[in-house]
C-alpha cells in the first residue's frame, strides 16, 4: 500500500485480518522526499493534473525548492529522481499531518497501528512532534518509530542535536547499533565489545525505548544477512558486477546458516522487537540494493532456517521473559556471549559460541533447575551446571518455574 496515492478499499480488511492473527500493521512514511514520477512532482507527466515539474501554478509547487525551475531542485542526497520536500511548508504539513483527512490520520483510522519514519534525522523536530501528536489524537496507542542509524539519544544531525527520545517525538528507533555490534562479534570480534556497545545504549535510552527498539539483522538498506555472514563481509572491494552475480558456495552457505542461526537466537532473546526482513528466514542471498530485493523463493525456502525461526517465534510468544524480562549478562568474552532475561520468577538464558572451538559456560543454576527449550545441557548435575557449547552453537535454556 502506498498511502500517498489515495484510499485503498482493501486496507481496512487487511488490518482486521492481521489483528485477528495477533499482527499489527505499521506503515513506512517517507515524508522527507518523493519520487520524480510521483503525482505531486509528476516529472514524466503521467498524471493529468499539473505537478510541480509542469507548472509553477501547481498546488504542489511550493512543496519543493527549485534552484532553477523546472530541472534544478533540491533532492535527497543529490539523487535527481528523489526531489526533496520542504517539510515546513504549511500546505504540506496539513496534507501529511494536520488536516482531518491527512495521510497520518486517515491511515491510522483505517486500521494502521503506527508509522515508521524514513530518514528521521532529516525531518525537522517540529514536524515529528506534530506527527506524533496527531497520531496519538487518532489512536492513543499508536507507535512512532524512527530510522536512525546511530545512538539516537545524543545524535547531532545537520548541526542540530536531535530530540528523538526526549518525549513527544519518537517512541523508539531502529536499532542499527545492535546489528553492527552483533555482526562484529559473529565475524571474529569480542563478545565483551558487544556487551559494551549494548550497555551504552541501555544507559542512554529511556527503558521504554531500549525494550522496544527495532532490532533487525537486515533491511532493504543493507546486504542480505546470510550473504554477509557467509562471505564474511560486504565485499565492497569487488566490482558491482561481481556482487550482482555472486552466489554463496556450499561451504559459504553452510557457514552463513550456522552464523545466522546464532544471530537470530540472540535477536529473539535480546531486549527489543525482533524484526525480520522478508526472506532472511528463508535463506535469501544478495549484496546491497538492488541485489537484496529479489523475489521471495516460494517453494524453495531453506527448511532448516524456516524451522529455526518458527521455534524462535514460538519461544518469544510463549515466554514472557523474552518479551519483558530484565537483562543480565552471564558471560561476554571472546567467542562466548551469554545472558539471562528474567520476568517475575521465570528466567531464560541465551548462551552462544561464535568460535570454531568448543567453549564452556557456567550457569547460575544447577542442572536440575534447567528445562531445555531448544537444546538440553549435557553435563550431569554437579551443583552449578556447566554447559558445553560446540562451535557455532547456541542454546536457549529455561530455569524450571517454581524451583528454588
The closest alpha carbon to 218, from 209, 210, 228, belongs to 228
Please report the DSSP string for 149-217 in residue order: SS-TTS-EETTEE--TTSSSS-SEEB-HHHHHHHHHHHTT--HHHHHHHHHHHHHHS-HHHHHT-EEES
List the one residue out of 113, 85, 87 whose CA is nearest residue 98.
Answer: 87
Instruction: Report the distance separating Cα 202 and Cα 95, nearest Å.
Output: 37
What is the rounded end-to-end Cα distance, in angstroms, of the chain?
Answer: 52
The catalytically annotated residue of 113, 147, 171, 346 is: 147
Catalytic position from the list 118, 150, 190, 301:
118
Residue 118 is among the residues annotated as catalytic for this protein:
yes
Residues β-bridged to residue 348: 341, 398
Contact by Cβ (8 Å): 313, 360: no
Alpha-carbon distance values, 318 to 5, 32, 189 (Å): 39, 39, 32
What is the rounded (10 degree) CA torsion for 261, 329, 327, 180?
Answer: -50
Q: Which residues on neighbouring strands pair with residue 361, listed in sequence order?
A: 387
CB 115, CB 135: distance < 8 Å = yes
| Catalytic residue check, 234 | no
Catalytic residues: 118, 147
Amino acid at each position: 500500500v502506498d498511502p500517498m496515492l489515495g484510499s485503498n478499499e482493501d486496507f481496512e480488511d487487511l488490518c482486521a485480518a492481521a489483528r485477528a492473527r495477533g499482527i499489527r500493521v505499521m506503515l513506512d512514511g517517507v515524508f522527507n522526499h518523493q519520487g520524480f514520477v510521483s503525482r505531486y512532482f509528476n516529472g514524466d507527466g503521467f498524471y493529468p493534473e499539473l505537478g510541480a515539474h509542469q507548472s509553477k501554478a501547481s498546488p504542489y509547487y511550493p512543496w519543493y525548492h527549485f534552484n532553477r525551475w523546472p530541472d534544478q531542485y533540491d533532492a535527497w542526497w543529490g539523487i535527481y529522481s528523489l526531489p526533496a520536500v520542504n517539510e515546513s511548508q504549511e500546505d504540506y504539513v496539513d496534507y501529511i499531518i494536520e488536516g482531518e483527512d491527512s495521510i497520518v490520520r486517515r491511515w491510522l483510522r483505517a486500521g494502521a497501528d503506527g508509522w515508521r519514519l524514513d530518514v528521521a534525522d532529516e525531518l525537522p523536530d517540529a514536524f515529528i512532534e506534530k506527527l506524533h501528536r496527531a497520531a496519538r489524537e487518532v489512536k492513543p496507542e499508536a507507535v512512532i518509530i524512527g530510522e536512525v542509524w546511530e545512538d539516537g539519544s545524543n545524535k547531532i544531525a545537520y548541526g542540530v542535536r536531535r530530540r528523538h527520545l526526549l518525549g513527544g517525538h519518537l517512541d523508539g528507533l531502529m536499532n542499527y547499533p545492535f546489528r553492527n555490534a552483533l555482526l562484529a562479534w559473529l565475524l571474529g570480534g569480542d563478545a565483551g565489545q558487544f556487551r559494551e556497545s549494548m550497555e551504552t545504549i541501555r544507559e542512554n535510552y529511556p527503558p521504554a525505548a531500549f525494550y522496544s527498539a527495532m532490532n533487525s539483522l537486515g533491511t532493504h538498506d543493507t546486504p542480505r544477512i546470510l550473504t554477509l555472514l557467509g562471505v564474511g563481509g560486504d565485499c565492497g572491494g569487488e566490482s558491482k558486477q561481481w556482487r550482482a552475480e555472486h552466489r554463496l558456495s556450499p561451504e559459504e552457505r553452510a557457514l552463513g546458516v550456522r552464523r545466522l542461526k546464532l544471530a537470530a537466537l540472540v535477536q529473539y532473546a535480546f531486549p527489543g522487537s525482533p524484526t525480520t526482513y522478508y526472506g532472511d528466514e528463508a535463506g535469501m542471498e544478495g549484496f546491497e540494493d538492488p541485489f537484496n530485493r529479489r523475489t521471495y523463493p516460494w517453494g524453495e525456502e531453506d527448511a532448516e532456517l524456516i524451522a529455526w525461526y518458527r521455534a524462535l517465534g514460538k519461544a518469544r510468544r510463549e515466554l514472557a521473559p523474552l518479551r519483558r524480562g530484565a537483562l543480565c549478562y552471564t558471560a561476554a568474552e571472546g567467542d562466548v556471549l551469554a545472558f539471562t532475561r528474567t520476568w517475575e520468577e521465570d528466567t531464560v538464558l541465551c548462551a552462544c559460541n561464535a568460535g570454531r572451538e568448543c567453549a564452556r559456560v557456567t550457569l547460575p543454576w544447577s542442572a536440575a533447575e534447567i528445562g531445555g527449550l531448544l537444546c538440553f545441557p549435557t553435563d550431569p548435575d554437579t551443583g552449578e551446571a556447566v554447559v558445553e557449547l560446540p562451535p557455532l552453537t547456541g542454546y536457549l535454556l529455561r530455569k524450571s518455574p517454581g524451583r528454588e
